[in-house]
Amino acid sequence: MRILSRNMSCENSHASSRFAESLCDRRCGGGYSKNRSKSLALGKAALAALLATACSASESPKAASEAASSQFRVALLTPGPITDQSWNSGAFAGLTVIRDSLKALTSHIHVKTPAEFEENFEQYGAQGYDLVFGHGFEFQDAAERVGPKFPKTVYITTSGNRVATNVSPMVFGLEEPAYLAGVLAGASTKSGVISTIGGTELPPVKSLFLAFVAGARSVNPDVRVLSSYVGNWDDASAGREQALAQIQQGADFIFQNADAAGLGTFQAARESRGVYVFGANSNQNGVAPDVIVASVVIDLPGAFLSVAREVKEGRFASRVIRFGANSGIVKLVPNPQLAHLITPSVQGRLDSVQRLMDSGRIVPPRLNFIDTSRVTAK
């Protein structure tokens, strides 16, 4: 029940007190008894408290609006559900870290079409958001079109090469841990057949698989490699069917990068014997610890927070923002529950390759889909 309107002015308090006194007189049925006096006193006290709240509330919308307009605001658009325990859930974890660490006002939308990319980029710009992440290579066109309309908003795409005054991509050097994953698969396969499964054929995904295959063939030149794409990022059932088809052809190590669709590859491995899968983007070792041998990990929360700090502190400069192995943002994380699969000789090879990559003597192949002249090392 609404006792008072938010628009009630403080000047009406005395009249309202008289109204309460009259109401009490009618309900108590006559003269001022002791009980009636107590009731009236309590009624006046309660009404005074409500009036104070109403007067305060009449000022709060403006104060709240001013506070919101000065608060650091960050938004995230993901192309898939944040329940995928991979690419999108990692980005949402990054948004949460920004909220908690920088006291930011945050917002997230799951978008499915390029039209929605642009529409929501524009809405966040119009609402005065300071920073908007478009989580994927596919957000580049929309960011490039919308950015000039809202110069006070910084638009970040995760991957790509489009740079403008307030538009920048983050590029993750996942080729290095993917190359290590390939070394592990190539040295450990018993069938001589390994495979890759992607969501769609985006350049960053193809680049990862290129590095994985190169790593495998560096230790096992005769290894056979199967490759397929689900065609989307959401269909776990299709991911399972793709994996089962590869397993039937002999694949015993599968490198998937398919977000929610990739969850189906774990199920396929569980249904088979002696088949192992690599997690991707987030540390997925705990998702299926009995079949995930290691994960090719991006510390998305760390990367998101790093960029958000720059924007909030006024230090941001548009560029291609690269996170390589030396940044600590990307790495191969073995699953301790399957550590027995990595023999001492294989571990020795992994350690040797890591040292050679650190020294620059091994450089994993990478598709040339970024403007390297604009790359800034992190």
| CATH code reported for the domain at 70-172 | 3.40.50.2300
Element (H, E) at 57: helix 34-70
Alpha carbon 223 to its chain centroid, in Å, reads 35
Report the pLDDT value the prediction gives residue 363, as an integer from 0 to 100.
95
How far CA 168 is from CA of 105, 161, 179, 255, 316, in Å, comes to 21, 8, 26, 29, 10
Could you tell me how many helices (H) and strands (E) the chain has, helices first? 11, 13
Token reading at 131: 């920073």
Give yes or no for a contact between 292 and 284, defined as CB atoms under 8 angstroms apart.
yes
What is the radius of gyration, based on Cα positions, of the chain? Answer: 29
In a structure prediction context, what are the per-residue pLDDT tens digits for the chain, which is 378 residues long?
Answer: 333 333 333 333 333 343 333 433 433 334 434 343 444 444 444 444 444 444 444 444 444 445 556 899 999 999 999 999 999 999 999 999 999 999 999 999 999 999 999 999 999 999 999 999 999 999 999 999 999 999 999 999 998 889 999 999 999 999 999 999 999 999 999 999 999 999 999 999 999 999 999 999 999 999 999 999 999 999 999 999 999 999 999 999 999 999 999 999 999 999 999 999 999 999 999 999 999 999 999 999 999 999 999 999 999 999 999 998 888 999 999 999 999 999 999 999 999 999 999 999 999 999 976 443 333 333
Helix-strand-coil percent breakdown of the chain, rounded to 5? 50, 20, 30
| CATH code reported for the domain at 175-298+329-367 | 3.40.50.2300
Greatest CA separation found in the chain?
105
Report the pLDDT value the prediction gives residue 13, as an integer from 0 to 100.
38
Exposed, middle or buried by CB within 10 Å (0-12, 13-18, 19+), for 146?
A: buried
Exposed, middle or buried by CB within 10 Å (0-12, 13-18, 19+), for 315?
A: exposed
Element (H, E) at 195: strand 193-198
Angle at the Cα of 48 from the Cα atoms of 42 and 49, rounded to 5 degrees: 95
